[in-house]
């Protein structure tokens, strides 16, 4: 039995026994910073095991996967994975899933396609996503349009509402960069006298009600200046980009104020060509979807 405190178990060989913490039973390291002390608690085994496990995970990953740079090359990993190839592979698999039904839209007979219920059950939900991701931002989630953007769910069309017409509009756009884009412009009538413009605006604003005054001074002005594009009585439907004026949902609004504005400055809308972004089959599926949107609304 030794009586030297410096040789007791847990004793500091320089200073002798250190203070024992009554709660944990461990001694302290002997350091003291303004009252803060540290226990000499041994390294917990569970931390060591956890450390080994995370290291093991990493070692396995390093062996399997590309990891360490070697100058101009890197360790490839025994799985031989390449993220570019993996992404392409996944893309191919998804494209293959779509290929079955999407191929049918390549050269469409829209009538026959629309009659195939099984095909529609797959294609129309897909076209709905296409619509929401590409069209809804301007034309509205329900095709209801908005100021500057035509309504798609009614029966009035600028360039025709049959699926092939819609498909072509999607393909080339309106006033877009496509060489065959559809072109349309509402010229400015700023040369017209203000009184005449007011009379014309009053008349056009009353068209949707169906109770336009046949003796209005706007009638001859309308016949001279507007009918050529907007059709008799403003019925539209001439497939030249000019909207029907008998429809309260006219693109830029049909109150007197808005019509005055349109007459004064003219209008030229823009719809991008989608041929850069969507392939032909997708455009055809979308055209059928939009045509059906309008037909469903008309049937209600």
Partner 1 sequence: MAMTSTLTSTERQIGMALSILLVCLGLVMAGVAKQGPMMVHGGMAVALGLVLVFVLGGALYDQPEPSPERLTQYDDAPIRFGIVMTLIWAVAGMAAGVWLAALMYWPEATPPWPATSYGRLRPVHTSGVIFGFGGNALIATSLYVLQRTSRARLADALSPWFVLIGFNLFCVWAATGYVMGQTQSKEYAEPEWYADLWLVLVWVTYFALYIRTLARRAEPHIYVANWYYMAFILVVAMLHIVNNLAIPVTWGAGESFTIWSGVQDAMIQWWYGHNAVAFFLTAGFLGMLYYFLPVRAERPIWSYRLSILSFWGIVFFYMWAGSHHLHYTALPYWVQTLGMTFSVMLLVPSWASAGNAIATLNGAWHKVRDDATLRFMFVAAVFYGLSTFEGSFLAIRPVNSLSHYTDWTVGHVHSGTLGWVAMIVFGAIYSLVPKLWGREDMAWPRAVEWHFWLAVTGTLIYVVSLWNAGITQGLMWRAYDEGGALSYSFIESVEAMLPYYAARTLGGGLFLAGALLCALNCRATMCAAGDRVDVSDRPLVAQPAE
Q: Which is nearer to partner 1, 101 or 157 (CB)?
A: 101
Question: What are the tokens at 186?
Answer: 């509402």
The answer to the question of residue 12 lying near partner 1 (CB under 8 A) is no
Span 205-264, contacts to partner 1 by CB under 8 A: none
Number of residues located near partner 1, criterion CB under 8 A: 60
The answer to the question of residue 11 lying near partner 1 (CB under 8 A) is no
Chain-centre distance of CA 81, in angstroms? 31
Among residues 11, 12, 18, 98, the one that binds partner 1 under rule CB under 8 A = 98
Q: Which is nearer to partner 1, 122 or 192 (CB)?
A: 122
CA angle centred on 163, ends 181 and 247, rounded to 5°: 80
Positive/negative CA dihedral, 171, 175, 179, 182: positive
Span 124-153, contacts to partner 1 by CB under 8 A: 125-126, 128-129, 131-133, 136-137, 141
CB of 79 to partner 1, least distance (A): 11
Among residues 65, 184, 238, 256, the one that binds partner 1 under rule CB under 8 A = 65
The answer to the question of residue 55 lying near partner 1 (CB under 8 A) is yes
The answer to the question of residue 1 lying near partner 1 (CB under 8 A) is no
CB of 65 to partner 1, least distance (A): 5
Positive/negative CA dihedral, 285, 289, 295, 299: positive
- Whether residue 99 contacts residue 88, with contact meaning beta carbons closer than 8 Å, is answered with no
| Tally of residues, the chain | 300
Query: How many CB atoms are located within 10 Å of the residue 48 CB?
Result: 10
150: β partners: none
* Euclidean distance between the first and the last CA atom of the chain, given in angstroms as a whole number: 104
- Please compute, for residue 136, the number of CA atoms within 13 A of its CA located in the half-sphere on the CB side: 11
Interface contacts to partner 1, rule CB under 8 A: 21, 23-24, 28-29, 31-44, 47, 50-51, 54-55, 57-58, 61-62, 65-69, 74-75, 77, 81-83, 87, 94-101, 122-123, 125-126, 128-129, 131-133, 136-137, 141
């Amino acid at each position: 039995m030794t009586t030297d405190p410096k040789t007791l178990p847990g004793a500091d060989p320089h200073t002798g026994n250190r203070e024992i913490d009554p709660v944990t039973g461990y001694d302290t390291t002997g350091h003291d910073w303004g009252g803060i002390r540290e226990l000499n608690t041994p390294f917990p085994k569970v931390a060591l095991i956890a450390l080994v496990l995370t290291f093991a995970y990493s070692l396995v990953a390093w062996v399997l996967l590309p990891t360490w740079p070697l100058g101009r090359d890197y360790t490839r990993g025994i799985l031989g994975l390449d993220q570019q190839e993996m992404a392409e592979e996944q893309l191919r698999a998804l494209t293959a899933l779509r290929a079955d039904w999407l191929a049918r839209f390549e050269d469409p007979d829209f009538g026959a396609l629309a009659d195939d219920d099984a095909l529609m059950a797959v294609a129309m939900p897909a076209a709905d996503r296409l619509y929401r991701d590409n069209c809804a931002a301007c034309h509205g989630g329900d095709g209801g349009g908005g100021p500057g953007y035509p309504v798609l769910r009614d029966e009035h069309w600028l360039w025709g509402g049959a699926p092939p017409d819609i498909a072509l509009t999607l393909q080339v756009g309106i006033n877009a960069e496509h060489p065959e884009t559809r072109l349309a412009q509402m010229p400015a009538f700023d040369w017209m006298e203000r009184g005449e413009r007011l009379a014309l605006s009053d008349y056009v604003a009353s068209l949707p009600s169906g109770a336009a005054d046949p003796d209005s001074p706007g009638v001859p002005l309308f016949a001279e200046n507007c009918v050529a594009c907007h059709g008799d009585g403003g019925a539209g439907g001439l497939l030249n980009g000019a909207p029907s004026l008998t429809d309260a949902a006219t693109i830029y609004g049909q109150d007197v104020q808005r019509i005055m504005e349109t007459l004064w400055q003219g209008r030229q809308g823009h719809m991008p060509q989608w041929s850069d972004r969507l392939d032909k089959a997708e455009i055809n599926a979308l055209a059928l979807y939009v045509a059906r949107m309008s037909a469903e609304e008309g049937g209600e």
